[in-house]
Amino acid sequence: MHAFVTQFWPSTIDGLTIGSIYGLIALGYTLVYGVLRLINFAHSEVFMVGTFASLFTLHGLGITHAETGFALVGVLILMGLAGMAGSGITAVVLERVAYRPLRKRGSSRLAALISAIGASFFLQEVFALRYGRDLLSFPPLMNKTVLFHIGSGQVRADKVLVVVAALVMALALDRFVNGSRLGRGVRATAQDPDTAVLMGVNIDRIVMITFLVGGMMAGVAAMLYGNYFELTQYNVGFLLGIKAFTAAVLGGIGNIRGALLGGLTLGLIENYGGSVFGAQWKDVIAFTVLVLVLMVRPTGLLGEKLTRARA
Amino acid sequence: MTESAALLELRTVTQQFGGVTALSEVDLGVPEGAIFALIGPNGAGKTTVFNLITGVYRPTAGSLWFGGAKISGKRPHEVARVGIARTFQNIRLFDNMSALENVMVGADARHDSSVVGAALGLRRHRREERDGRERGMQLLDLVGITRVAEDTAKGLSYGDQRRLEIARALATQPRLLLLDEPAAGMNPAEKEQLGVLIRKIRDIGVTVFLIEHDMGLVMQVSDRVAVLDFGQKIADDTPSAVRTDPRVIEAYLGAPADAT
């Protein structure tokens, strides 16, 4: 336990940072599940496409060394927009070609799940064939300046950016879902699609928007991930996607605030656990959490809120 | 048999489920601006009529017409868009949303601001939101439940939930409102208020088509009453004429030949 105490602040900072990324990706799982009762397993590849879009933006801008000031802010914004566009469009296309045709035919949820896994492999392989299977590194964009210390923990600018950006995006999403016409349509559809249709809600449009918004959140996560780890790969989404799914379940799948809370909680548990058992145990700890949550509290920390339980 | 000024018409509609005939060559005409009631014993086929109108079923034979256009064969969301709204026998509200939000969902189909506008909180989107809230409050006021506007739907009393369903249906600005047993589970005072409300709805220009078991309410509010029995129409007239129709009395009191 000594390591836990000495590593407490560094673990907390790293846990919140990676947890914010989990949380942003988890939002996509939770939104789609809330509306369609579908686990979009290809969401991990939606994220992956976002990291590539962010990387290509840096290449396109000819970034080779760290920027500062307005240039840095401008590049980060462009990177974020590219990530959102890449991931958002991928998610929408995925819905069109992999899910909607099945939905229109009234296929079972199992068919959609298999389609999701197929789409996931398809996207991975396309990117592997096009860009290779090796790790691709990002040019260093941001100086990893230490802003201040908390205990033995260093609070670095790139980590602060991750946490702040994730919180801002999650707040914006919460506002969209709870305070706008389309958000109301999303919630109405999640609660009772048949009645929503009778009230004139255009379900196809709502589903498209759900995928788009979930994808955009993953795109922001992708930009933050790229800026923080400075690496990506055709299968970068795999482990991260499952972790984010764990975060969504932990927070209560279908619950937007739960997704972020679940992400942060998972990030912290993983890092605290890692400090005690060794960093190589992080993934074991994360998936033990998934199994425990499913066994002990399948509705997660906050329960399902976007939707209501359906038989 | 059909009225010349009928807003909604069923023309010799037959509906079969497997070997069971739920409706047999039924003609109905709901006059524009009227309160029209459809009554009949349990299993007479009343809810089948609503499911046909809203596009949940397609008729085995015959056709349905609304405002001069054929609606049989249209899908539920298309029917909703031509101006037909309904409430449900088993209340189906958006449980986790506030009463006002439930109504606003109904009104939202009339607005058209974009995702981007909503995300950025643009002025037009904000104005639409404000208009939607105002319109929602007006409708809650019409049905008399403004006091619970911010309460979640699942927390409302049974009578208030019924009223909220009506307000939500009206928010879609229908020409025809289908009410499926709105008085079910209401006490006499609530039924009395419901009768007043139904007449108010007609008076703002919405035609009302009512399915109801409660004979008192039906006789009190309806301009015209049709009676179904075992999938066949046995009467279609003014309330006072229907009340004294021997076939209707037989269907309700159960003559030996019809008793089951």
**pLDDT at B19 (0 to 100):** 84
pLDDT band for position A309 (cuts 50, 70, 90):
very low
Smallest CA–CA separation between A226 and chain B, in Å?
A: 25
**pLDDT at A1 (0 to 100):** 65
- Closest residue on chain B to A201 (Cα): B109
**pLDDT at B45 (0 to 100):** 86
Residue (of A151, A155, A163) closest to A8 by Cα position: A151
B residues 153..172 contacting A (CB < 8 A):
168-169, 171-172
Residue A305 predicted with pLDDT over 70: no
Contact B153, B93 (CB under 8 A): yes
3-class DSSP assignment, residue B233: strand
Q: Give domain B1-83+174-260's CATH superfamily.
A: P-loop containing nucleotide triphosphate hydrolases (3.40.50.300)
Contact A219, A233 (CB under 8 A): no
Which residues does chain B have with pLDDT short of 50? Answer: 1-3, 113, 257-260
pTM for this structure?
0.84
**pLDDT at B216 (0 to 100):** 87
- Closest residue on chain A to B171 (Cα): A199
Of A184, A192, A197, the CB nearest to B108: A184
**pLDDT at B138 (0 to 100):** 93
Of B77, B110, B115, the CB nearest to A209: B115
Percent of chain A predicted with pLDDT > 70 = 97
Residue A266: inside a domain, yes or no?
no
Identify from B54, B77, B126, B176 which residue to disrupt to test chain A contact, counting A C-beta atoms within 10 A and taking the largest count.
B77
Cβ pairs A/B, distance under 8 A: 88
> What is the span of the domain harbouring residue A143?
25-237
**pLDDT at A207 (0 to 100):** 93
Tell me which chain B residues have a C-beta less than 8 angstroms from the C-beta of A305.
96
Q: Does B129 touch chain A (CB under 8 A)?
A: yes
3-class DSSP assignment, residue A155: strand
**pLDDT at B215 (0 to 100):** 85
Tell me which chain B residues have a C-beta less than 8 angstroms from the C-beta of A188.
94, 97, 105
Please, which contacts does A89-92 make with residues 24 or more away whose CB atoms are closer than 8 Å?
A: A89/A215, A90/A45, A90/A46, A90/A49, A90/A50, A90/A123, A90/A215, A91/A28, A91/A40, A91/A43, A91/A46, A91/A211, A91/A212, A91/A214, A91/A215, A91/A218, A92/A208, A92/A211, A92/A212, A92/A215
Percent of chain A predicted with pLDDT > 90 = 68
Tens of pLDDT, residue by residue over A135-192, are 999 999 998 889 999 988 899 999 999 999 999 999 999 989 988 888 999 999 999 8
Tens of pLDDT, residue by residue over B36-66, are 999 988 878 888 999 999 988 899 999 999 9
Q: Is the Cβ pair B132, A181 closer than 8 Å?
A: yes
Q: Where are the domains of chain B?
A: 1-83+174-260, 93-173
Residue A220: inside a domain, yes or no?
yes
- How much is the mean pLDDT over chain A? 91
Look up the ipTM and state it: 0.76
- Closest residue on chain A to B122 (Cα): A180
Number of domains in chain A: 1
Chain A interface residues facing chain B, Cβ-Cβ under 8 Å?
172, 176, 179-185, 187-188, 191-192, 194-203, 209, 212-213, 305, 307-308
**pLDDT at B79 (0 to 100):** 87
**pLDDT at A260 (0 to 100):** 94
**pLDDT at B230 (0 to 100):** 87
Contact A133, A234 (CB under 8 A): yes
Tell me which chain A residues have a C-beta less than 8 angstroms from the C-beta of B101.
184, 187
**pLDDT at A195 (0 to 100):** 87
Residue A283 predicted with pLDDT over 80: yes
Residue A4: inside a domain, yes or no?
no
Tens of pLDDT, residue by residue over A191-209, are 988 888 888 788 888 999 9
